[in-house]
Amino acid sequence: MVLYENNRLRDGMNFESIYLQQESFPLHFHRAYEFIYVEDGSIDVKAGGKLYSLQKSDAMLILQNQYHEYLNKNGEVLINLFNASLVPEFVELCEGKNFRECIFHIKQMPEKRVEPTDNICVIKSYVYSICGSFLEQAKLEEKNAKTARSEEKRAGKSNLLREIITYVEENYKNECTLITLSEHLGYDYAYLSKFFKKQTGINFIEHVNQMRISHACELLTNTNMPISEISAEVGYNSIKSFDRNFLSEMGKTPKKYRMSKLDKAE
C-alpha cells in the first residue's frame, strides 16, 4: 500500500518527533521533510527507488514528496518531520541542486531530545543544525538540463500518483474501481492500470483492498462493531469477499484477528 500523507504533521504543527522501535512503515510520501537518525541497531530505508542501510549513528534526510519506506528489523530510530517554512534558507540553497550522498552523520545529537512542545527557537536551532550537517556532507551539484527534464517528468508522475492515492483514500468505502477512477481523472483506464502498477509494484485493486483491510483492522481493534457492519463500512458488498480478502492480507480471519488483539490487551 502506498500512502500519501497530506497532513503528516498534526494541524498547526511545523515539527514532529516519532520513535520507531523494531517497526516497519509502508511506502509513503508527504510534503514535510523527514530526518532519520538511528539511535541503536540498524534499519533499511527505501527512498527514491534505492535501498539504503543505516547503522547506529547514521542519519538521512528525506526530501519533500520523496517516496520512502522503512524495513526495520532491530533498529531504534528517531524521526523528525518539519515543514519547509521552518528552514527557508535551506530550501533556497537546495533549489536546482542534486545530492550525491543521502546518508550523513551528526557530530553530536542534543542530550535532551527536541520535542514539538519546545519553544520555536530551540526547534529552529535543532532543525538548522540538521540541515547544516546535511549540506556539508551531501555534495550538492547543479542539475543539468537532462536531469531537470527528468525531474519535471517525475514530478508529473508524482502528482498523478498522489491524485490516485487521494481518490482511493476518499472513496474506498464506496465503489472504487479503475473505471470510476478513470472517469474522475479523465485518463484512459488501461494507462492508469499500467501506470499504477509500474509506480507501486501492485495493481490498483490490491491497493484498494489493502486500504480497506487497514481500516477494518482499526475498527476491529478499537470498536465493538459487528464484523458484518465493519465489512460494509470499509466498502465490501459481501461478507464472504471481506473474509477472503482479510484472510489473504492478514493471514487470519477478522474474528481471529479481533480475538488476538483482545488477548494482547488482557
Residue 185 burial (CB count, 10 A): 13
The H-or-E segment that residue 135 falls in is helix 120-137
pLDDT of residue 264: 62
pLDDT of residue 57: 92
How far is 98 from 154, CA to CA, in rounded Å? 14
- 244: pLDDT strictly greater than 50: yes
The structure's pTM equals 0.62
- 219: pLDDT strictly greater than 70: yes
pLDDT of residue 2: 52
Asked if 165 and 200 touch (Cβ cutoff 8 Å), the reply is no
Q: Which residues contact 117 (CB under 8 A, 6 or more apart)?
A: none
Residue 172 or 26, more confident: 172
How far is 166 from 6, CA to CA, in rounded Å? 9
Asked if 139 and 101 touch (Cβ cutoff 8 Å), the reply is yes
Residue for grid cell 545529537: 109
What is the tens place of the pLDDT at every residue in 120-156? 999 999 999 999 999 989 877 775 545 445 555 555 6
Residue type, 251: G
pLDDT of residue 127: 95
pLDDT of residue 26: 74
DSSP string, 191-248: HHHHHHHHHHSS-HHHHHHHHHHHHHHHHHHH----HHHHHHHTT-S-HHHHHHHHHH
How far is 146 from 132, CA to CA, in rounded Å? 28
pLDDT of residue 148: 47
pLDDT of residue 15: 93
**What mean pLDDT is reported for the chain?**
84
pLDDT of residue 153: 57
Asked if 65 and 42 touch (Cβ cutoff 8 Å), the reply is no
Asked if 27 and 69 touch (Cβ cutoff 8 Å), the reply is yes
pLDDT band at 12 (very low <50, low <70, confident <90, very high): low
What is the tens place of the pLDDT at every residue in 67-84? 788 887 788 999 999 998
What is the tens place of the pLDDT at every residue in 150-204? 555 555 666 888 889 889 989 999 999 999 999 999 999 999 999 988 877 789 9
* Stretch 215-242: mean pLDDT: 93
Residue for grid cell 547503522: 55
Question: Which cell is 177 given?
Answer: 474501481
How far is 178 from 255, CA to CA, in rounded Å? 30
* Stretch 24-31: mean pLDDT: 76
- 102: pLDDT strictly greater than 90: no
Collapsing DSSP to helix, strand or coil, 185 comes out as: helix
Structural domains of the chain in order of their starting residue, each with its CATH number: 3-142 (2.60.120.10), 177-266 (1.10.10.60)
pLDDT band at 56 (very low <50, low <70, confident <90, very high): very high
- 10: pLDDT strictly greater than 50: yes
* Stretch 235-256: mean pLDDT: 93
Weakest-pLDDT range from 8-22, 99-113, 200-214, 215-229: 8-22
